[in-house]
Amino acid sequence: MNITFQRARKSQAKARVANIGPSGSGKTLLGLFTGQKLGSRIAVIDTENGSASKYADRFDFDVLNLDDFDPRTYIAALQAAVQAGYEVIIIDSLTPA
């Protein structure tokens, strides 16, 4: 078996991060902390009855409160966020899909 390490090189790849934990463990807060380090325009797709907005006094972000959890709705919301030029998109959460 030939195992060879290579020099790491920075690329233009987008970060795709999943936070997993029980309710109340800080997933939304962690997502917003991480998001503010990755970009200045943050969109939150919120399926948790507006729970992300409780952090509106600590972070600058826009929110879309979803009440339709069809996977096609998530796709449409993501497309709208990309088209609007958001640098960071947080989906809170995928569980209802």
DSSP string of 79-95, one letter each residue? HHHHHTT-SEEEEE-ST
Tell me the mean pLDDT in the region 6-19.
85
Residue 41 domain boundaries? 27-92
- Per-residue model confidence (pLDDT) at position 66: 92
Q: Is the residue at 2 inside a domain?
A: no
Domain count, the chain: 1
- Give residue 95's pLDDT: 79
Report the pLDDT averaged over residues 35-58. 95
Residue 57 has pLDDT above 80, yes or no: yes
**What average pLDDT does range 43-47 have in this prediction?**
96
97 domain residue, yes or no:
no
pLDDT band at 81; cut points 50, 70, 90: very high
Nearest to 59 by CA among 44, 81, 74, 75: 44
Flag whether 49 is in a domain: yes
Q: Which residues have C-beta within 8 Å of that of residue 70, sequence separation ≥ 6? A: 97
Q: Is 35 a domain residue? A: yes
Is residue 12 included in any domain, yes or no?
Answer: no
